[in-house]
Amino acid sequence: MSSKPLPILPGATLGILGGGQLGRMFTLAARTMGYKVMVLDPDGASPAGQMADEHVQADYTDLAALKKLGVACAAVTTEFENVPAASLIELARHCRVAPSAEAVAIAQDRGHEKTWLADNGFATAPFTLINSEADLDAALAKTGTPALLKVSRFGYDGKGQARIGTLDEARTAFREFGGLPCVLEGFVKLECELSVVLARDDAGQCERFPVAENRHVNGILDVSIVPARVPESLTQQARDMACAVAHKLDYVGVMAVEFFVADGRLLINEVAPRPHNSGHYTLDACVTDQFEQQVRVLCGLPLGDTRLLSPVVMLNILGDRWKNGGPHWDALLAQTNIKLHLYGKQTARPGRKMGHCNVLDADLNTALQLAEQIRNGL
Ligand code: AMP
């Protein structure tokens, strides 16, 4: 790699693979700090492309586009896990790339990720890899019912998942998923869900943001409540486990670890090699937000202070709200303690993340009530 010396300072150009909302918020953070940003995304109207100094509109495997990015940028990162590992390897021939292709590759595939977690001693929900229909019977005997069948690759926000009660249902779901490799997971009785967003730098220092308590609806994050309303011992354990995962991966960058809490125990659900939806609260409630942290770690700068400045509830705003004439922004914006973030997406679809807002209040329950009121009134 022909890397520029660290730290990379304002004035330099940074690159990001992926032009979605995470890329957009990275771009905004980087530009605020005086960096130029180049986005690679095939979509001409991507949320990040609208904000970048330059948008390279090409496929993630386009070698000429990757070279252009790698030559122009001092460092490149990614906003999503499905970027081909080969593209990161290609980029690394020209510039600094963080996180590494190896770390991203583990999180790309549910089966690979769960196997890696189990092999490294991290607790997960019981699971079995499914490569053919013939595997389903024995797998169901192991996990019991109900269970969840999840496609190993390209599933997100509850997509590519089916709840399974019988062998027949498992067979039908497996066929509906095109017979692709899947993971069959035991259905866990969740007490709650938590997540930890962290950054780990080249020297192995790990800075964690406060633990978020996450509530999902239909498999999609609805609200993150911070600080999480669980015993301190559990949040400490979650923070430690998240760092242990980052150390084991020798990870450099921002990442998120999602946890299930069941029987008072933490099980790792997923690892995301990027900033995370459940870390959006940091934009308005922490000294440093997760996107500034992504810029800092990419540039080899000291990691920012992750202190929480106020209790906060993050509410996702989904495309469903655009039915019947669109959201009532006036009611939301009439509240002076709510910060609105919209992603510039041109088409609203049910389940599509269009934006979020952060409700800040000295009293967490008041913030939660207001977030729910806004959600129901939008
Ligand atoms: P995932 O896409 O795997 O993160 O799943 C989305 C959401 O579905 C999770 O955040 C949980 O709310 C729920 N879920 C996923 N897997 C399980 C499981 N094994 N047991 C219970 N709930 C689950």
Name the percent of the chain lying above pLDDT 90: 93
What is the mean predicted confidence (pLDDT) over 11-20? Answer: 98
Does 108 contact ligand 1 (Cβ within 6 A)?
no
| Residue nearest atom 13 in ligand 1 by C-alpha distance | 219
Give residue for tokens 């993971």.
183
**Residue 54 contacts by C-beta under 8 Å, 6 or more apart in sequence?**
36, 37, 38, 39, 72
Residues 29 and 16 sit within 8 Å (Cβ to Cβ): no
Prediction pTM value: 0.96
Q: What is the mean pLDDT of the chain?
A: 96
Answer yes or no: are the C-beta atoms of 113 and 155 closer than 8 Å.
no
Evaluate if residue 159 carries a pLDDT over 80: no
pLDDT of 64 reads 97
What DSSP element (H or E) covers 329?
helix 329-333
Q: Give the per-residue pLDDT at 28.
A: 98
Q: What's the pLDDT at 3?
A: 67
Please indicate whether residue 126, judged by its CB atom, sits closer than 6 Å to ligand 1.
Answer: no
Task: Output the residue whose Cα is nearest ligand 1's atom 1.
Answer: 158
Query: What confidence tens digit (pLDDT) does each residue in 23-47 have?
Result: 999 999 999 999 999 999 999 999 9
CATH number given to 190-377: 3.30.470.20
* pLDDT greater at residue 378 or residue 22: 22
Please, what CATH class does the domain formed by 13-97 belong to? alpha beta
Q: What is the pLDDT of residues 118-146, one digit of tens each?
A: 999 999 999 999 999 999 999 999 999 99
pLDDT in tens, 315-339: 999 999 998 878 999 999 999 999 9
Percent of the residues in the chain that have a pLDDT greater than 70, as a whole number: 98
pLDDT at 139: 96
Q: How many CB atoms lie within 10 A of CB 293?
A: 28
Tell me the pLDDT tens digit for each residue of 58-73. Answer: 999 999 999 999 999 9
Q: What is the mean pLDDT of residues 176-197?
A: 96
Over its C-alpha atoms, the chain yields an Rg (Å, rounded) of: 20
Q: Specify the pLDDT at position 2.
A: 52
CA of 219 to the centre of ligand 1 (A): 6
Report, as an integer, the average pLDDT of 138-161. 89
DSSP conformation class of 46 = -
State the Cα–Cα distance between residues 228 and 364, nearest whole angstrom. Answer: 10
CA of 89 to the centre of ligand 1 (A): 31
Q: What is the pLDDT of residue 191?
A: 97
DSSP state at residue 47: T
- What pLDDT sits at residue 324? 80
Domains of the chain, residue spans: 13-97, 126-186, 190-377
Reported as a single tens digit per residue, the pLDDT across 191-204 is: 999 999 999 999 99
- What's the count of helices (H) and strands (E) in the chain, helices before strands? 12, 18
Pocket lining: 241 vs ligand 1, CB cutoff 6 Å: no
| pLDDT for res 323 | 87
- What is the position in ligand 1's atom list of the atom closest to the CA of 159? 2
Residue of 108, 190, 269, 277 to test ligand 1 pocket, by largest number of atoms within 8 Å of CB: 269
Q: Candidates 148, 193, 257, 266: which one to mutate for ligand 1, based on the most atoms within 8 Å of Cβ?
A: 148
Q: pLDDT category, 155, cuts 50, 70, 90?
A: confident
Pick one of 3.40.50.980, 2.60.40.10, 3.30.1490.20, 3.40.50.620 as the CATH number of 126-186: 3.30.1490.20
CA distance 277 to 256: 9
pLDDT at 273: 96
The pLDDT assigned to 87 comes to 95
Residue 1 has pLDDT above 70, yes or no: no
